[in-house]
Chain A
C-alpha cells in the first residue's frame, strides 16, 4: 500500500506522529467508576431535572384544566359564557368508555385517519419534489410560482363546493380538501429551504467532482430537509383543520362528522369527545412527523 505520493520529503524531519498529536487533544471520556444505584439515580435526576420539571408542571396544568372544567360544569356557571349545557369531564369520560365499545365510533376515527393519510401523503409526494425542482430550475419556478401564489391564500374550506363539483364521490372530495390544506405549506417551506442552501457547500461539492444530479441529491436535498420537515409539520396541522371542516360540511362518517352529528342529535358529551379525539389525533400525527424527522436527520439531534 505504499505510493510515491507518500515518499517523505528528504528534508521532512517532522515525525509522522506530529500530525496525529497536533491540534486539540481528542476528548477521551474517562472510564466510569463503578457507581451505586443511589448515585446513578441522583446523577440521572440532575441531568434530567429540567425535563422532569416540565413534565411535572405539564401534568399539574392538565389536571388543573380538568378541575376548572369540572367546577364550571357542575355549578353550571353563567358568566358571559354559558356552561349550562356543556358536558362535564365525567360525562365525557362516560361517553368515551361507551364509544370505545362502539365499532361505529372507531370507524369514524379510522376513516378520518385514512383521509389524512391519503391526502397528506399525496401532498408530500407532490409538494416536496415540486418544491425541490422549482428551487433548482428557475424556469419551473417562474411558471408555477404565480399560480401557486394565487391559489395559496384560498382556505381549503372555500374549496368545498368546488371539490364537490370536481370529484365524483364525497370521499374523493374530502381527501382533495385535505390534500390542498397540506400541499401549500409543504411546497412553500420546501422552496424556502432550497433558497437557503449555502452556495459554498454547492461549490465544495463541485470541487470534489460532483455533477448536477449528485449535487441535487447530496447537497440541495439534505440541506433543505429541516425546512421540508417544518413544512410537513405545518402541513399536517392544516390537513386536520381542512379535513374536519370538510367532514362537517359534506361528510358522511369521520370524526368531524361525528362531532357535528352529536350536536344535531343533542348529545353534548359526544361533542366534547369528538373535539378531544381530534386534538389527540392531531397531536399524535405531528409527533409522528417529528419522530420521522429525527430519524431522517440524525445530525440535528444531539
Chain B
C-alpha cells in the first residue's frame, strides 16, 4: 500500500465568497449565492439542503467542473481551476466504465498517471481486497449490485491517493440496508486514510451519522444557513441513531431544512395546503410536527 500517500496534513478545502449564476435568456439565474465553507484536513463535512438548493453545484465547483461566478475555491491554498486527480469524486450514478472490469476501473487513475501495469494491478488488488471485492476483479460493472458498484466507485476514487474525496449523494440510489453498510464502509476507509471528505446528501440521518460538521443550505439561491458541529463520539454505531443526542441534532437540522423546503415551494403550502395537512395530521398543526 505504499502507493497511497499520507494525507494527514493535507486536503484543506476553502470556498470563499462563492457564487455561481447560469446565463439564461431571461438573464442570469443565481444558483449559489455568497457561500463560505471550509473542510479542515482529515475532516468529514456534509452539505444538506432542500432539493435544488445548489449543493451539488457547489460540490461540482470544488471538483473543478464549474467555475464560480465570483469568489474562489482553493485546496491547500491552491486555486481550483479544473478537475484533477487530487480531488477524487464519487457520483450518485456510480459512473463506472462499463467496458472496463472492476479491476481496470480501479486501475484507471493509476494508468493515467503512467504507473506500469504490474504495479497498478497489484495496487488495485490490494484496494479491492479492502473493500471485499477481490472476488469480483474480473467482472464487468453491469454484473454487480448497486452497493458493490458504489464500493468500486469509492475505491476507484481513492486509488490515486487524492487529498480530498467529494461524494455527490453517493448512496441515494441504494436501498436502506445497503446504505447503512456503505456508510460503515465509507467511515472505515475515511478513518484509515485520514482524508478530507465533502459529502453532499439530502438524507439528514446520513449526514449526522457520518460527519464531523454539517452545513445546511438555504433554498435557491443556495447559501449557508447554518453550520452544525456533530459532537457524537467515534466510532459511531448504528444504535447511536436512537440516542437523545442524535435525535436532538436531527430535530434541529430537520426544522432548518423544512423551513427552507417550505420557502422553496413558494408559499403554496401556506396558501392552500395548510388546512389539508392539518386534517391528515390528526389535529396537530404543521408547526408542531415540524
Q: Mark A1-15, 1 if CB is under 8 A from B, else 0.
A: 111111011011110
List, in ascending order, chain B residues with CB within 8 A of A200's CB. 91, 93, 95
**Is B83 within 8 A of A203, CB to CB?**
yes
Docked pose: A6 CA to B2 CA in angstroms:
9
Query: Within the complex, which residue of A8, A23, A207, A223 is in contact with B178, where a contact is CB–CB below 8 Å?
Result: A23
**Is A9 within 8 A of B192, CB to CB?**
yes
Residues in B50-83 with C-beta less than 8 Å from chain A: 63-65, 82-83
Query: Within the complex, which residue of A11, A208, A218 is in contact with B234, where a contact is CB–CB below 8 Å?
Result: A11
Closest to A206 in B: B83
**Is A23 within 8 A of B181, CB to CB?**
yes
Say if the beta carbon of A237 comes within 8 Å of chain B.
Answer: no
Query: Within the complex, which residue of A5, A12, A23 is in contact with B151, where a contact is CB–CB below 8 Å?
Result: A23
Say if the beta carbon of A31 comes within 8 Å of chain B.
Answer: no
Query: Within the complex, which residue of B96, B140, B156, B189 is in contact with A19, where a contact is CB–CB below 8 Å?
Result: B189
Q: Which of A18, A19, A201, A211: most chain B Cβ within 10 A? A: A19
Given contacts A19-B131, A24-B145, contact A13 B88 (CB under 8 A): no
**Is A3 within 8 A of B109, CB to CB?**
no
Docked pose: A209 CA to B140 CA in angstroms:
22
**Is B161 within 8 A of A5, CB to CB?**
yes
How many Å from the CB of A132 to the closest CB on chain B?
15
Docked pose: A132 CA to B245 CA in angstroms:
57
Closest to B135 in A: A26
List, in ascending order, chain A residues with CB within 8 A of B132's CB. 19-23, 26
Residues in A11-46 with C-beta less than 8 Å from chain B: 11-14, 18-24, 26
Give the number of residues in A that approach B within 8 Å (Cβ atoms): 41
**Is A6 within 8 A of B4, CB to CB?**
yes
Say if the beta carbon of B35 comes within 8 Å of chain A.
Answer: no
Docked pose: A122 CA to B235 CA in angstroms:
63
**Is B4 within 8 A of A19, CB to CB?**
no
How many Å from the CB of A298 to the closest CB on chain B?
8
Docked pose: A9 CA to B194 CA in angstroms:
8
Given contacts A6-B193, A23-B132, A24-B147, contact A207 B98 (CB under 8 A): no
**Is A222 within 8 A of B136, CB to CB?**
no
Given contacts A3-B1, A11-B235, contact A207 B89 (CB under 8 A): yes
How many Å from the CB of B183 to the closest CB on chain A?
10
Say if the beta carbon of A204 comes within 8 Å of chain B.
Answer: yes
Query: Within the complex, which residue of A9, A208, A222 is in contact with B109, where a contact is CB–CB below 8 Å?
Result: A208
Say if the beta carbon of B120 comes within 8 Å of chain A.
Answer: no
Closest to B234 in A: A11
**Which residue numbers of B lie inside 8 Å of A, CB to CB?**
1-2, 4-8, 63-65, 82-85, 87-89, 91, 93, 95-101, 108-109, 112-113, 129-132, 135-136, 140, 142, 145, 147-148, 151, 156-157, 160-161, 178, 181-182, 184-185, 188-189, 191-194, 233-235
Interface pairs A-B: 10 shortest CB-CB: A209-B85, A208-B109, A206-B83, A20-B132, A4-B6, A9-B191, A222-B99, A209-B112, A207-B89, A299-B140
Given contacts A3-B4, A20-B130, A205-B97, 10 further A-B contacts (CB under 8 A): A1-B1, A2-B1, A14-B188, A19-B131, A22-B184, A200-B93, A204-B96, A205-B112, A207-B84, A209-B84
